[in-house]
């Protein structure tokens, strides 16, 4: 019995041992699985996808190639936050760092009368002293300030050739900036003349190394021209320049183009220089050349702002006077014109034909003054008066001088201009003893006003003729819309784009602001028309709330118009709440229609209180517009 008991104990012990071993095995497996998954998840969250995680019992093995030492350290730290760091076996490799690329080696050489400055980065192995000595030899001992820095990298290919070229370039230049690298050389310099610039460019390009690209920018100072002059001659259709000057390349091209259009053949030189009297030089020369072409021949000379035109002998006198008057009007400000027509047996010094002065005003507002005045003082006064009345940029006044005009001529000219200013468009003709006014006006009283004005201004005995026609379309009062047209136009805008508000608020929605802008523009022509701006709501909510909301929305429209500089003294904002629906409140569509703003004409009391019929737009009990009554009431009021 004792042996059986002992055997049972042994079996029990063995069974317990087996169970313990099995439990330990499964526990280790669970720990391995959990540790590997947890560490892998932590590394994945840190985006360390280059790591590999293996588990051997309690030990967590990390392998892979980290891009940097810092990345390796972060991986170990992340794994150590999940499991005990003592359980981590580090088998992570670190990728070899890429070699740092060599910097761009460049030198800037600045040369002026005080010396040479060097700025840039050079290879450390570069012989700096030999380079400085070579620069001194090339520039005959010029002082050098060295601001060069160095870096421990080899010199790039082509570096020596670029340096050798810089010595040669400096020997030829006095004021310059040379920017050089192994494959690029840029030279900016100043030469003494155009000829020297051409020689320098030729020599520098010829000596440039094949290993580097060359960029040249060599300028030459322009000569100062005193006076700034030009002389253009046109004879028998053949044109030439005896002298030509321009301040810019575009001006030069403009002058040569005008000369070629006048008959200039071949290549002609126009010197670029300093000293131009005005930036409008090209415009003045072009205008003068066109005038010379119109005369048929002669010479045109500019000396600064003094312009001289000498026409060919035999030029028609009337053509000469008209062309010179137009030229004087077309020349830019500052230029002074002197013109000469050589006398011959076929020409006279006085314009043949009727004596007159003509001023015209076009429907577009353009004014032309043509004809004659007795003195230069009167001509300038007439031009100034016309520009003051009609606008500086709208007046064209090529007036010629005639000292033998009849007495009272200036008074007739200025009276005619004053009469022309009262017309929308028309013309005034001044004769030896007459004044004729023709045109169109938008004022029914213009004829009477002109007659009264001219009766006190014109010399006694002047024959005055009026042919002024009234055009209702030009009448600013007649062209204004009627009150009913104002209401119709405004409501048409609302019909096309309804004025909406934020739900339950009096804030106008952004998509409705364009309607407010259009209404504001219409209201500018409807100032003084008494209008009611009515606000309406649907039936949702209490009566009191709807009245308050409709009133606030109507006032919001008035305020929006006021913000757009519309006079609002003639506007009345009134809220009607839900009392005047135009559709059923049982549907969403109907409620949308009932939420609205309407403009109606406020009728005089006598019309608004008539006994019956559609003339009354207000319900006597509700004091609100009746459905369908507004249009008939406004129509009757208009009639």
pLDDT band at residue 417 under the 50/70/90 scheme: very high
pLDDT at 618: 37
Q: What is the pLDDT of residues 427-481, one digit of tens each?
A: 999 988 888 999 998 888 787 788 778 877 888 778 888 888 888 777 766 667 8
Check whether residue 56 and residue 166 sit in a common domain: no
pLDDT band at residue 617 under the 50/70/90 scheme: very low
Check whether residue 633 and residue 492 sit in a common domain: yes
Q: What is the mean pLDDT of residues 198-217?
A: 88
Q: Is 7 a member of any domain?
A: no
Q: Is 346 a member of any domain?
A: no
What are the CA-CA distances from residue 41 to residues 37, 59, 152, 619 (Å)? 6, 17, 45, 79
Q: How far is residue 469's CA from residue 467's CA, in Å, rounded to a whole number?
A: 7
Of 59, 94, 129, at which residue does a domain stop? 94
pLDDT at 548: 93
Q: How far is residue 393's CA from residue 50's CA, in Å, rounded to a whole number?
A: 77
Residue 217, beta-bridge partner list: 188
Q: What is the mean pLDDT of residues 44-58?
A: 80
Q: What is the mean pLDDT of residues 343-360?
A: 61
Q: How far is residue 333's CA from residue 119's CA, in Å, rounded to a whole number?
A: 51
Check whether residue 287 and residue 417 sit in a common domain: no
Q: Worst-scoring range by mean pLDDT, 269-273, 381-385, 426-430?
A: 269-273
pLDDT band at residue 600 under the 50/70/90 scheme: very high
Check whether residue 564 and residue 504 sit in a common domain: yes
pLDDT at 551: 95
pLDDT at 298: 93
Check whether residue 626 and residue 586 sit in a common domain: yes
Q: Is 536 a member of any domain?
A: yes
Q: What percent of the chain has pLDDT over 70?
A: 86
pLDDT band at residue 574 under the 50/70/90 scheme: very high
Cis peptide before 290 (omega within 30 of 0): no
Helix (H) or strand (E) holding 385: helix 376-390
CATH of the domain at 465: 3.40.1520.20
pLDDT at 626: 40
Q: What is the pLDDT of residues 486-500, one digit of tens each?
A: 889 999 999 999 999
Backbone angles phi, psi at 229, to 5 degrees: -125, 160
Q: How far is residue 89's CA from residue 8's CA, in Å, rounded to a whole number?
A: 46
pLDDT at 479: 62
Check whether residue 431 and residue 494 sit in a common domain: no
Check whether residue 529 and residue 613 sit in a common domain: yes
Packing angle, helices 513-523 and 543-563, rounded to 10: 60
Q: What is the mean pLDDT of residues 391-416?
A: 88
Backbone angles phi, psi at 327, to 5 degrees: -65, -45
Q: Is 352 a member of any domain?
A: no
Q: Is 307 a member of any domain?
A: yes
As a 3-state breakdown, the chain gives helix, strand, coil percent values, each rounded to 5, of: 40, 25, 35
Q: What is the mean pLDDT of residues 95-109?
A: 79
List CB contacts of 162: < 8 A, sequence separation 6 or more: 180, 181, 182, 185, 209, 211, 212
Assigned token pair, 266: 């071949």
* pLDDT above 50 (res 344): yes
* pLDDT above 80 (res 5): no
CATH of the domain at 43: 3.30.300
Q: Is 350 a member of any domain?
A: no
Q: Worst-scoring range by mean pLDDT, 304-313, 325-334, 336-345?
A: 336-345
Q: Is 148 a member of any domain?
A: yes
Assigned token pair, 152: 């421990």
Check whether residue 68 and residue 86 sit in a common domain: yes
Task: Show the domain range for 325.
Answer: 229-340
Residue 359, beta-bridge partner list: 369, 428
**Three-state SS sequence of 539-607:** CCCCHHHHHHHHHHHHHHHHHHHHHCCCCCCCEEEEECCCCCCCCCCCCHHHHHHHCEEEEEECCCHHH
Mean of pLDDT over the chain: 83
Check whether residue 154 and residue 199 sit in a common domain: yes
pLDDT at 207: 87
Q: What is the mean pLDDT of residues 264-282?
A: 89
Check whether residue 502 and residue 624 sit in a common domain: yes
More confident residue, 10 or 484: 484
Q: How many CB atoms lie within 10 A of CB 182?
A: 20
pLDDT at 557: 94
Q: How far is residue 475's CA from residue 594's CA, in Å, rounded to a whole number?
A: 41
Q: Is 606 a member of any domain?
A: yes
- Rounded to whole angstroms, the maximal C-alpha distance in the chain is 174
Q: What is the pLDDT of residues 14-37, one digit of tens each?
A: 666 656 666 555 555 555 667 777
Q: Worst-scoring range by mean pLDDT, 95-104, 154-163, 263-272, 387-396?
A: 95-104
Q: Worst-scoring range by mean pLDDT, 27-41, 219-233, 563-577?
A: 27-41
Check whether residue 503 and residue 601 sit in a common domain: yes
Closest Cα to residue 337, out of 358, 350, 352, 321?
Answer: 321
CATH of the domain at 324: 3.40.1520
Assigned token pair, 360: 């015209």
Of 157, 187, 219, at which residue does a domain stop? 219
* pLDDT above 60 (res 613): no
Of 448, 474, 500, at which residue does a domain stop? 474
pLDDT at 124: 86
Exposed, middle or buried: residue 423 (CB in 10 Å: 0-12, 13-18, 19+)?
A: buried
More confident residue, 81 or 536: 536
Check whether residue 494 and residue 540 sit in a common domain: yes
- Sign, CA torsion 184/190/192/198: positive
Helix segments in 271-316, DSSP class H: 281-295
Q: What is the mean pLDDT of residues 248-275?
A: 90
Q: How many domains does the chain have?
A: 5
pLDDT at 99: 60
pLDDT at 576: 94
Assigned token pair, 225: 């021209």
Closest Cα to residue 68, out of 94, 30, 34, 31?
Answer: 94
Q: How many CB atoms lie within 10 A of CB 176?
A: 21
């Amino acid at each position: 019995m004792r042996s059986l008991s002992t055997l049972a104990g042994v079996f029990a012990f063995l069974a317990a041992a087996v169970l313990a071993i099995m439990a330990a095995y499964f526990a280790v497996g669970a720990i391995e699985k959990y540790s590997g998954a947890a560490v892998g998840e932590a590394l994945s969250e840190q985006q360390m996808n280059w790591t590999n995680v293996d588990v051997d019992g309690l030990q967590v093995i990390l392998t892979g190639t980290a891009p940097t030492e810092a990345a390796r350290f972060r991986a170990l730290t992340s794994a150590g936050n999940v499991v005990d760091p003592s359980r981590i076996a580090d088998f992570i490799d670190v990728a070899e760092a890429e070699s740092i690329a060599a910097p761009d080696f460049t030198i800037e050489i600045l040369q002026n009368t005080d010396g040479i400055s060097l700025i840039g980065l050079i290879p450390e192995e570069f012989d700096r002293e030999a380079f400085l000595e070579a620069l001194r030899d090339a520039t005959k001992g010029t002082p050098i300030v060295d601001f060069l820095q160095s870096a421990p990298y080899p010199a790039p290919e082509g570096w020596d050739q670029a340096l050798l070229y810089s010595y040669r370039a400096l020997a030829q230049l006095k004021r310059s900036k040379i920017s050089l690298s192994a494959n690029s050389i840029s030279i900016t310099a100043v030469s003494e003349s155009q000829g020297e610039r051409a020689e320098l460019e030729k020599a520098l390009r010829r000596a440039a190394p094949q290993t580097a690209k060359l960029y040249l920018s060599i300028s030459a100072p322009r000569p100062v021209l005193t006076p700034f002059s030009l002389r253009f001659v046109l004879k028998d259709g053949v044109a030439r320049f005896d002298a030509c000057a321009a301040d810019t390349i575009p001006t030069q091209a403009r002058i040569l183009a005008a000369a070629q259009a006048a008959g200039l053949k071949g290549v002609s030189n126009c010197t670029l220089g300093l000293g131009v009297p005005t930036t409008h030089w090209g415009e003045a020369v072009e205008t003068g050349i066109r005038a010379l072409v119109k005369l048929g021949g002669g010479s045109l000379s500019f000396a600064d702002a003094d312009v001289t035109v000498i026409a060919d002998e035999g030029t028609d006198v009337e053509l000469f006077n008209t062309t010179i008057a137009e030229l004087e009007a077309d020349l830019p400000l500052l230029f002074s014109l002197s013109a000469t027509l050589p006398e011959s047996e076929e020409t006279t010094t006085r314009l043949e034909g009727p004596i007159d002065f003509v001023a015209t005003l076009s429907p577009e507002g353009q004014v032309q003054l043509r004809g004659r005045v007795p003195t230069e003082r009167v001509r300038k006064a007439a031009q100034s008066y016309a520009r003051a009345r009609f606008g500086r940029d709208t007046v064209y006044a090529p007036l010629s001088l005639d000292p033998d005009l009849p007495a009272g001529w200036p008074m007739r000219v200025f009276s005619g201009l004053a009469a022309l200013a009262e017309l929308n468009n028309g013309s005034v003709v001044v004769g030896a003893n007459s004044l004729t006014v023709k045109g169109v006006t938008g004022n029914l009283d213009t004829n009477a006003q002109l007659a009264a004005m001219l009766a006190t201004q014109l010399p006694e005995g002047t024959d005055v003729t009026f042919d002024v026609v009234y055009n209702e379309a030009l009448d600013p009062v007649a062209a204004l819309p009627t009150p009913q047209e104002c209401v119709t136009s405004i409501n048409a805008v609302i019909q096309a784009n309804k004025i909406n508000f934020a739900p339950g608020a009096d804030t106008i929605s952004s998509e409705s602001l364009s309607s407010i802008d259009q209404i504001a523009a219409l209201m500018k022509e409807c100032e003084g028309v008494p209008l009611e701006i009515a606000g309406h709501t649907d039936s949702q909510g209490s009566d009191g709330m709807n009245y308050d909301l409709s009133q606030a929305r109507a006032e919001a429209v008035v305020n929006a118009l006021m913000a757009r500089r519309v006079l609002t003294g003639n506007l009345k904002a009134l809220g009607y709440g839900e009392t005047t629906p135009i559709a059923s409140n049982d549907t969403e569509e109907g409620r949308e229609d009932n939420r609205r703003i309407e403009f109606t004409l406020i009728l005089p009391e006598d019309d608004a209180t008539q006994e019956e019929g559609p003339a009354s737009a207000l319900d006597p009990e509700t004091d609100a517009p009746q459905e369908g009554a507004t249009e008939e009431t406004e129509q009757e009021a208009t009639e």
